[in-house]
Amino acid sequence: MPQQQRAKIRIYLDCNSPWSYFAYTKLRRDRPLLSQHGVDVEINPIFLGGINVGSGNKPPWTLPAKARLGGFDLPRAIKYFQVDPLTSPPFFPIMSLLPMRCLLYAKENLPYEQYENAFGDLWHFLWREHKDVSKPEVLAECLGRHFGREDVERIIKAGTDPKYKKMLTDETAMLVEKGAFGAPWWLVTNKEGVEEPFFGSDRFHFVYQFLGVPFQDIEILPPGSSKL
């Protein structure tokens, strides 16, 4: 009897997006149990600005109504996902092309866990320390927490390499062609080989339902129960 194939979550993130960070954090927490259920997780850098342009979408901070709601939703999400506070830097948004290209190189050429840890630190630098990781020297400081000096030099150099410029452009075009209009964007393949897209950091229940992974849904507790 042929062995059933493993399912896969591919998620595409940009450090400009705090919602990408929430998805990144929860997926990393869930990964050990997901693996036991036969689900692999791959975290990918993507240029959100290119997705917005290609899809015709407008970033939330450019629309007053979305921006006002974001002022409520960001602290709500920080509490729900149980992460340290994030605050928008005064120079937000950044042009994230350089860090996203550099991460493509790191993902392709260096140990995956180090790459993924470095990706997470981009949000720490940008949203907690308010350091502009679009600047090569700042990006090098961030990457230096996870890679040796020579590797950091190679990573930064790759950010201007035509190969990784094209790779990021091609990844963006692929996602737009598949219907992407923001980040985090998910491409999820179940064990039957069926792929479906998902959007946002609040779609875990839909993703796990699609994958057939058992999960505890939201339940209202009786009065007197402990609250989050």
Annotated catalytic, 201?
A: no
- My answer on whether omega of the bond before 184 falls inside 30° of 0, hence cis, is yes
Q: Which of 3, 9, 11 is nearest to 39 (CA)?
A: 9
Tell me if 163 is assigned to some domain: yes
**H-helix or E-strand spanning residue 215:** none
**pLDDT at position 2, please?**
54
Tell me if 86 is assigned to some domain: yes
Q: What is the DSSP letter of 216?
A: P
Average pLDDT for the chain: 95
Please say whether the beta carbons of 144 and 13 come within 8 A: no
Whether the predicted pLDDT of 204 surpasses 80: yes
Tell me if 222 is assigned to some domain: no
pLDDT, mean of residues 179-205: 97
pLDDT, mean of residues 154-176: 98
Whether the predicted pLDDT of 91 surpasses 60: yes
What predicted TM-score, i.e. pTM, was given to this entire model?
0.94
pLDDT, mean of residues 135-141: 98
**Cβ-proximal residues to 34 (8 Å cutoff; 6+ apart), any chain:** 9, 27, 40, 41, 213
Tell me if 219 is assigned to some domain: no
pLDDT, mean of residues 159-172: 98
Tell me if 199 is assigned to some domain: yes
Looking at residue 119, which CATH number applies to its domain? Answer: 3.40.30.10
Burial of 119 (0-12, 13-18, 19+ CB in 10 A): buried
pLDDT in tens, 72-86: 999 999 999 999 999
Q: Exposure pattern of 90-115 as b/e (b: 16+ CB <10 Å)?
A: eeebbebbbbbbbbbbbbeebeeebb
Tell me if 218 is assigned to some domain: no
- Domain range spanning residue 12? 7-211
Whether the predicted pLDDT of 227 surpasses 80: no
**pLDDT at position 1, please?**
44
Q: Which of 17, 20, 134, 201 is catalytic?
A: 17
**pLDDT at position 228, please?**
61
pLDDT band of 205, cuts 50, 70, 90: very high
The angle that helices 18-36 and 64-81 make with each other, rounded to 10 degrees, is 40
The total of structural domains in the chain comes to 1
**H-helix or E-strand spanning residue 71:** helix 64-81
